[in-house]
Amino acid sequence: MRLPRFTYLPAASVAEAVQLLGDGPDTQLVAGGTDLYPKMKRRQLRPRVLVGLGGVDELRGIHANGTVSIGAGTRLHELAVAPEVVERFPALARAASLVASAQIRNAGTVGGNLCVDTRCNYYDIPYERRCAHGSCLKAEGDVCALAPGGDRCWAVSSTDLAPVAHVLNGSVRLVGPRGERTVPIAALYTMDDGIDYLRKERDEVLTRLELPPDEGLRVTYVKFRRRGAIDFPLLGVAAAVRTDENGVCVDARLVLGAVATAPLPVPDAARALVGSSLGDDAIAEAAEIAAGSAKPMDALDLPPSYRKRMVAAHVARAFRELRDAAP
């Protein structure tokens, strides 16, 4: 598969990237290109102009004061081994270390991961096969191949970092022609719209991921995928608990990845743990509530009914890990 023709414009600064993006709807940002280039080869995306962020130094680097601020251009491998991230937000470092493969983590960036396109079996096939078998709503077609009766796209959010950033109450900085704004990760994604999945304007650049301090919160990320060496998540579980001096849970959070068009918070499951000592029964109840809330569809590998059962298994595993890691 070959890349289609396009013009590449390297930006030297965020301001220049914003200005170049203003050239029109056929213009798109590229960072590591690990998601965008394969999509262009499969003719899923056809930008005529790419604005390269690789040379924008202000997007690099991790700064830690109270808040940890991670440049959007930081490579996933750098994030996975950065001492200030490993020490303060080990679940985020773990999520980064579980993305794709070593080669992709060396090229893929934090900004690209948070903005990564949604995925679906019917969308992620080459153009020729889409032409032969019928296309889908997110590509050239006008009917969702997954749910032909509806008018929505159910392609799945597949970012490993976003669920963890969500439980950490993270936010992103967006810079555009109208200025700069902060958007909580919890408000960055659109539920039930796999096409317009980001609440970011087309001409905005995501510049930083910011994580506030959260003393005493224990956080983990558990990923379920077919091949451990290289694969998108079939399920991501970001879970967090805070316990008092008696081991009683006073705060719990749960966000699932890869089960909906956006990272899916499950507050009811988390609430079932508050006031408990994180015993097996309380964890099993939370896990069942989570599995009930998740409605995986036939958009990814493995049958949806199996992936739903995996939600209960992996949520339980995540909370047991947090309980057993108590100081």
Ligand X SMILES: Cc1cc2nc3c(=O)[nH]c(=O)nc-3n(C[C@H](O)[C@H](O)[C@H](O)COP(=O)(O)OP(=O)(O)OC[C@H]3O[C@@H](n4cnc5c(N)ncnc54)[C@H](O)[C@@H]3O)c2cc1C
Q: Which residue ranges make up the site for ligand X (CB under 6 A)?
A: 28-36, 38, 53, 72, 76, 99-100, 104, 107-109, 111-113, 115-117, 158-160, 205-206, 230-233
154 vs 224, which CB is nearer to ligand X?
A: 224
Determine the residue with CB nearest ligand X: 112
Please give the structure tokens belonging to residue 200.
């970011």
Burial class (CB in 10 A: 0-12, 13-18, 19+), 303: exposed
51 vs 273, which CB is nearer to ligand X?
A: 51
Please give the structure tokens belonging to residue 139.
């590509």
Please give the structure tokens belonging to residue 138.
């997110």
Q: Considering the complex, what minimum distance in angstroms separates the CB of residue 76 from ligand X?
A: 5
Residue 69 parent element (H or E): strand 68-71
Q: Considering the complex, what minimum distance in angstroms separates the CB of residue 272 from ligand X?
A: 28
Residues pairing with 175 in the sheet: 180, 205
Please give the structure tokens belonging to residue 276.
């408990």
Q: Report the residue count for the chain.
A: 327
Give me the torsion for CA of 70, 75, 81, 85, rounded to 10°.
Answer: 10
Burial state string for 248-275 with b = 16 or more CB within 10 A and e = fewer than 16: ebeebbbbbbbbbbbbbbbeebbebbee
Q: Considering the complex, what minimum distance in angstroms separates the CB of residue 323 from ligand X?
A: 27
110 vs 286, which CB is nearer to ligand X?
A: 110
Q: Considering the complex, what minimum distance in angstroms separates the CB of residue 223 from ligand X?
A: 8
Other CB atoms within 10 A of residue 147 CB: 15
72 vs 282, which CB is nearer to ligand X?
A: 72
19 vs 242, which CB is nearer to ligand X?
A: 19
Q: Considering the complex, what minimum distance in angstroms separates the CB of residue 252 from ligand X?
A: 24
137 vs 160, which CB is nearer to ligand X?
A: 160
3-state secondary structure (DSSP) of residue 109: strand
3-state secondary structure (DSSP) of residue 65: coil
Please give the structure tokens belonging to residue 151.
């008018």
8 vs 246, which CB is nearer to ligand X?
A: 8
